[in-house]
Structure 1
Amino acid sequence: MVKIGAAVLLVALGALLAANDNDPVQLGIAVVAAAGLLVWGVRDLVAPVRLTAHPAGITVISGYAGQRHLPWTAVERIRVDTRPRLGLRTETLEVDAGESLHLFSRYDLGTAPTEVAETLRRLQATHSTGVTGEPPR
């Protein structure tokens, strides 16, 4: 909701600046930036859950709002990539499924990627042998 509110404020600010300067380019730039924020905000509303784990494997977000089930046997590696950026340390959870790599930030997960990686590794070790079936609906 914050992103959608920011998009509305951005258009209003662009309109205010364009009205004062008679410059339609400022309004155009504000509208394009607001459209990007709006699309990003709607995605958060349509597909708020990015990663779920269950005995049969994990389900990850795919595309804009789709989902893809990965059985535990398809998950080759779970790791956390830590990098310094702008004086801060950022962590990204990487789930490597062979032909696809799925990346999740702290924002996507709602908690530290390190904690999620530990939980996923524990679940994978527990459920990767002999479990078949579809994820719960």
Structure 2
Amino acid sequence: MADMSPAVLHWRVRREFLILKIVAALVLATVTVLSLDDPRGAVLAAAATVAVIVLALRDVLAPVRLSVDGEGLVVVRGFAGSERLPWNAVERIRVDTQTRFTSRTEFLEIDTGERIFLLSRFDLGAPCQEVADELRSFRTGF
């Protein structure tokens, strides 16, 4: 969801998803301990626990995935870094929709010509099309 500040918008991971990841990590850690008599099961459960912890840690370290102001965008890059993109570096903002079987995924695509940044609804805490529309209107001032 977008937070309104003076001429700045932010989109961030929803807290509910962070809490869900923490609960999943606790459940998986419990499964790991309960599976110690089965080495393969314990290794798989431990690997899943670490993966979920890493995802939760990213949400703690870089909760804001996208922000915009009059100068341009700041987009999350890598694990928890960010990159400033001036408006003149942004060639295109669009929503990429993929449908496979009965599943539909959408990504906000920010294209600089040299790089493409992809952000999901889970990254943004809002529908991708809504964010794309807000970015376009913010960029043009309408």
TM-score bin, normalised by smaller chain: 0.7 to 0.9
Following superposition of structure 1 onto structure 2, how do residues 11-26 of structure 1 map, counting pairs within 5 Å? Answer: 11-18=29-36, 22-26=37-41
SS at 1:6 equivalent: helix
| TM-score normalised by the chain length of structure 2 | 0.81
Taking only the aligned residue pairs, the percentage that are identical comes to 44
Instruction: Determine the structure 1 residue equivalent to 2:112.
Output: 97
On the 8 A contact 1:94/1:102 being kept in 2, the answer is: yes
Which one has a larger percent strand, Structure 1 or Structure 2? 2
SS of the residue 2:110 aligns to: strand
The TM-score, its normalising length taken from structure 1, stands at 0.84
Aligned length: 124
CA deviation digits over 1:11-36, x for unaligned, max 9? 21132233xxx322211111111001
Higher deviation after alignment, 80-89 or 92-101: 80-89
SS of 1:50's partner is strand
For structure 1, the 5+ residue unaligned runs are 128-137
Q: Distance in 1 between matches of 2:78 and 2:104?
A: 27
- SS of equivalent to 2:64: coil
Report runs of 4+ in structure 1 exceeding 4 Å deviation. none
- Alpha-carbon RMSD across the aligned residues, in angstroms, is 1.5
Higher relative contact order (CA 8 A, sep 6+): 2
The alignment status of 1:4 with 2:22, answered yes or no, reads: yes
Match of 2:62 in 1: 47
Aligned to 2:140: 125
Q: Does residue 112 of structure 1 match 2:127?
A: yes
Q: Deviations over 1:24-54 (max 9, x none)?
A: 2211111111001000001001111100010
Q: Is the 8 A contact 1:4 1:42 kept in 2?
A: no
After TM superposition, list the pairs within 5 Å mapping 1:23-42 onto structure 2.
23-42=38-57
Runs of 5+ unmatched residues, structure 2 = 1-18
Structure 1 or 2, whichever has the larger Rg, is 1
2:44 aligned partner, one-letter code: I
